Structure 1
Amino acid sequence: MNRYGLVAGLMVAAALGPAAAVADELAVKKTSGCGCCIGWIRHMEENGFTVRAQDVPMGAFMQEKLAAGLRVGQTSCHTSRIGGYVVEGHVPAREVRRLLVERPDALGLAVPDMPIGSPGMPGKAEAYKVLLLKRGGDTKVFASYPTSDRDAD
Structure 2
Amino acid sequence: MHTKFTLTRRQLLVGTAHTALAASAITEAAAATDVLPRVTVTRDPNCGCCIAWVEHMRASGFPVDVVEIDDVVPLKVKLGVPEALMSCHTSQVGSYVVEGHVPADAVKRLLAERPDATGIAVAGMPIGSPGMEIKGEAPRPYEVVIFSNDRQNVFARFRGTRQT
The answer to whether TM tops 0.5 is yes
Which residue does 1:70 correspond to in 2? 81
Which residue does 1:107 correspond to in 2? 118
String of CA shifts for 1:2-58, please: whole Å, max 9, x gaps.
x8xx59x75x939x93x864x521000000021110100000000000000010121
Gaps of at least 5 residues in structure 1 are none
Q: Distance in 1 between matches of 2:158 and 2:124?
A: 15
* Higher alpha-carbon Rg: 2
Answer yes or no: is 1:41 the counterpart of 2:68: no
Answer yes or no: is 1:142 the counterpart of 2:155: yes
Indicate the SS of the match to 2:85.
Answer: coil
Q: TM-score, normalised by structure 2?
A: 0.75
Identity %: 41
* 1:128 aligned residue (110, 128, 142): 142
Indicate the SS of the match to 1:27.
Answer: strand
Indicate the SS of the match to 1:48.
Answer: coil
Q: Is the 8 A contact 2:143 2:155 kept in 1?
A: yes
Q: Distance in 1 between matches of 2:117 and 2:38?
A: 19
Gaps of at least 5 residues in structure 2 are 1-18
Which residue does 1:88 correspond to in 2? 99
Q: Is the 8 A contact 2:156 2:163 kept in 1?
A: no
Indicate the SS of the match to 1:114.
Answer: coil
RMSD of equivalent CA atoms? 2.7
Amino acid at match of 1:78: H
Alpha-carbon spacing, 1:27–1:116, altered in 2? closer, same or farther (3 Å): same
Q: Distance in 2 between matches of 1:140 and 1:36?
A: 25
Q: Is the 8 A contact 2:37 2:62 kept in 1?
A: yes
* 2:38 aligned residue (25, 29, 42): 25
Q: TM-score, normalised by structure 1?
A: 0.80
Q: Distance in 1 between matches of 2:120 and 2:163?
A: 20
Q: Is the 8 A contact 1:129 1:145 kept in 2?
A: yes
The count of residues paired between Structure 1 and Structure 2 equals 140
Runs of 4+ in 1 over 4 A off after TM superposition: none
